[in-house]
Structure 1
Amino acid sequence: MRIAIVGAVLTALGLVAVASGVLPLDAVAALAERSAPILGFVVAMTVVAELAAEAGVFRALAERLARMAGGRAILLWLLVVVLATASTVFLSLDTTAVLLTPVVVSLAAHVRLPPIPFALTTVWLANTASLLLPVSNLTNLLAAERLALHPLEFAALMAAPALVAVVVPAVIVLLVRRRELAARFVPDEPAAIGDRPLFWTAVGVLAALVPLLVSGLPVWLPASGAALVLVVVFAVRRRRVLRPGLAPWSLLVFVCGLFLAMQAAHELGATAVLGELAGTGEGPLELLRLTGASALSANAIDNLPAFLALEPFAASPLRTAALLIGVNAGAIVTPWASLATLLWHQRLVAMGVEISWWRYVALGLLVAPLTVAGATLGLALAAG
């Protein structure tokens, strides 16, 4: 609800800018043409993820992970690293934050282990692992659309920094929480699958969706098709689950408000000062300057408006990649640096798990610079 209120205020400010002539109508039309398919993808993927969770796919996956770990916490944690990375890469960081968080917290309770190492791994990787594909993050979708890159071309550009951005946070969790991760546990018996037709339909939809998201089709098309299939099946098997709340209305209002507000700020020239911070050039030091500026901006004002504000100063594919490193992998210090972090915390609170924001910020101040610097150097080395 707070997100919706902030979004409504930003939208109102954007409309005032339109009414006063600060934000021209043709600029609004161009913004709508660019953002509508992306927002459609976000809605469709949220519906797919929510219905897959209702079908029991994520719970079954968590139970399978517990059995595969063989009673060793370190192996269970490594499997969570793999799952969080895959979920973020193929289903987006918000899906990981919203749906995987309760899975890993329940998993920790299921095997009687402390939940914090698993929860921290989830939120950090939700942000840092969101570099590889356009679908991984809304900022990536905006960048790929502007650069007209095929998903595989985008992945080739981002492969080296994406790998570094996964490894560095994982290693730090392992070092900081090594005592908890050295424990052993006895897994319980898995729960029975409630509605097998729903479960296997959801599994099939997800299995078909993942390759389609990297096929080169506009991502909103396969996502919408997957959502439609699941909605139809649930309408037949479990109609009560279908409710307006499946769509992320608060998120939509928030994002629309951000888009309008940042476009108005750009028309006023308010974002020009960021150009001085971002610099120019594509050498390692110049790229580090850009990633540092974008990471600071993301932690100050949220990663989406930071990307929109700095986008004009990252015209080439290489500088755009550096910008994404900063606003995605660097957005792990302040609670508001990414929407995924706020959604993650809401889920923790709902499940009775407490985490100190001061502790979170302190750890983020350690992890973010190492991750951003390492990923940037990986990008520079891969670029030759």
Structure 2
Amino acid sequence: MLLAGAAALVSGLLPVPAFQELAARTVPILAFVVAMSLVTELVDDAGLFRVITGRLAALGRGRVLLLWLLVIVLATVSTIFLSLDTTAVLVTPVVVLLALHARIPPLPFALTTVWLANTASLLLPVSNLTNLLAQDRLRLSPAEFAGLVWAPALAGILVPLGLLWLAFRKDLRGHYVPQPVHKVRDRVLLYPAAAVMALLLPALVSGVPVQFPALAAAVILLLLFVWRRRSALRWTMVPWRPLMLTTGLFMVVEALHANGLTKFLTGIAGSGESLPALLQQAGLGAGAANAVNNLPAYLALEPVAGSPVRLAALLIGVNLGPLVTPWASLATLLWHERLRTLNVEIRWGGFALAGLAAVVLTVPLAVLALWLTTGMH
């Protein structure tokens, strides 16, 4: 994909002025993605996520339903403040291992993390790369962004959870035996890492461009690890493949826009802010996300969104919609990769059917919530 983007630039399909404008917009966002990947990997290596899940297991008091509710809180907070990929990559393994060790069926916990990784990623700009792009386009502060999407974001959390409870209520009954508390390898590393994370979360929603606090946190943690555990530092902490894929997608979709994609999509996406118009916009976003991937779906449809409310409807489609196909969201692929390493099997047919049911209910209800709260009725 990166080679395709480079070829578009060299051949002139992507004009140089359009590329320069694209770079000015996306380089800060990509810097944030790299910095947050390093931060979450290092904080995880320091043991913070294992300590948190150990506390959750103790707080669950041996009741499976209570443990599930605590896992929901962890996955939701992780997705909102640290992004959907963090939930998929770091929360999934600790939560699924927690279930396996407690001899609870892991599927309800695994599905909870992947659905919430996607559907809880609407509230803040940092929750999803698509949100950062939308925030940049709309020039909104994090508080203003949340003010626009809070109602559909709430629907995106509550509706899938209701479906999961209906599907797994029998598995969520009963009790488990809490495991011994995880022993911290290096408290001198853990406590400063936890402090960095505690300071970073409010900084990400303060209105300061998010790449600056993320880069500062990454530098502090890297220095901490150079001092305490240099052996843990490795080049694979940088998400090279997703970074190349994302950069290539930015360039390819921009080249398509420069060659008539916007005009073509204008006829399909419709116009206006009536409920049917917003449903059409969100439905198109969800369909495109499941057909190709949510990032190119957003990039393709962003220029035809036209207004903040229509852009919010597009975000509903591309954030809450990618629950059907495995490739619809990078978070889903990362989640599946983690489950394979834990020998937890997922049948894609069942995953797609369950996801389709969730999307058919969640996306329209989220659009309705958006329409009702933005004064369009």
Q: TM-score, normalised by structure 1?
A: 0.96
Find runs of 4+ consecutive structure 1 residues off by over 4 angstroms: none
**Other-structure match for 2:374:** 383
Tell me how far apart the structure 1 counterparts of residues 7 and 182 of structure 2 sit (CA, whole Å).
54
Shift of 1:243: 1.2
The residue number in structure 2 matching 1:53 is 44
Please tell me whether residue 11 in structure 1 is matched to residue 2 in structure 2: yes
Residue 247 of structure 1 is matched in structure 2 by 238
Contact 1:55–1:199 under 8 Å retained in 2: yes
8 Å CA contact 2:262, 2:304 repeated in 1: no
Q: Which residue of 2 aligns with 1:154?
A: 145
The equivalent of 1:128 in structure 2 is: 119
How do 1:285-364 residues align onto structure 2 when only pairs under 5 Å count? 285-364=276-355
SS at the partner of 1:181?
coil
Matches within 5 A, 1:205-216: 205-216=196-207
Corresponding position: 1:109 with 2:100? yes
SS at match of 1:193: coil
The percent identity for this pair of structures is 55
The one-letter amino acid of 1:356's match is R
- The one-letter code sitting in structure 1 at the alignment partner of 2:367 is T
Q: For residues 15 and 272 of structure 1, what CA distance do their matches in structure 2 show?
A: 24
Count matched residues. Answer: 375
Contact 1:278–1:294 under 8 Å retained in 2:
no
The answer to whether 1:118 aligns with 2:99 is: no
The gaps in structure 2 that reach 5 residues or longer are none
Q: 2:195 aligns with which of 204, 207, 210?
A: 204
Q: Secondary structure at the match of 1:95?
A: helix
Aligned counterparts of 1:97 and 1:320: Cα–Cα separation in 2: 25
Separation of aligned partners in 2, 1:20 and 1:173: 49
CA distance in 2, matches of 1:11, 1:249: 11
The aligned counterpart of 1:95 is 86
**Distance (Å, rounded) in 2 between the aligned partners of 1:299 and 1:138:** 17
Retained in 2: the 8 A contact 1:48–1:226? yes
Name the SS of the counterpart of 2:261 in structure 1.
coil
Name 1:169's counterpart in structure 2.
160
Q: 1:69 aligns with which of 43, 56, 60?
A: 60
Counterparts of 1:86 and 1:274, CA distance in 2: 35
Alpha-carbon separation, structure 2, partners of 1:277 and 1:367: 24
Residues 106-132 of structure 1, C-alpha deviations (whole Å, 9 max, x = no match): 110121101110000000000000000
2:364 to 359, 373, 376: 373
Which residue in the other structure is 1:20 paired with?
11
Which one of 126, 139, 161 corresponds to residue 130 of structure 2?
139
CA contact (8 A) 2:316 2:366 kept: yes
Question: CA shift at 1:271, angstroms?
Answer: 4.7
Q: Name the structure 2 match of 1:262.
A: 253
Residue 183 of structure 1 deviates from its aligned partner by 2.3
Q: CA deviation at 1:272?
A: 3.4
* Contact 1:111 1:187 survives alignment (8 Å): yes
Question: How much does 1:264 deviate?
Answer: 1.0
Task: Determine which of 35, 38, 56 is the counterpart of 2:29.
Answer: 38
CA RMSD of aligned residues (A): 0.9
1:320-363 deviation line (CA, Å, top 9, x unaligned): 10000000001111000010000000000011100100010010
- SS of the aligned residue for 1:18 comes to helix
For residues 210-260 of structure 1, the C-alpha deviation after alignment (integer angstroms, 9 at most, x for no partner) is: 000000000000001111111111100000011111110111101011011
Q: How does 1:228-243 map to 2 (within 5 A)?
A: 228-243=219-234
The corresponding residue for 1:3 is none
CA distance in 1, matches of 2:261, 2:146: 32
| CA–CA distance in structure 1, aligned partners of residues 314 and 264 of structure 2 | 16
Tell which deviates more after alignment, 188-197 or 290-299.
188-197
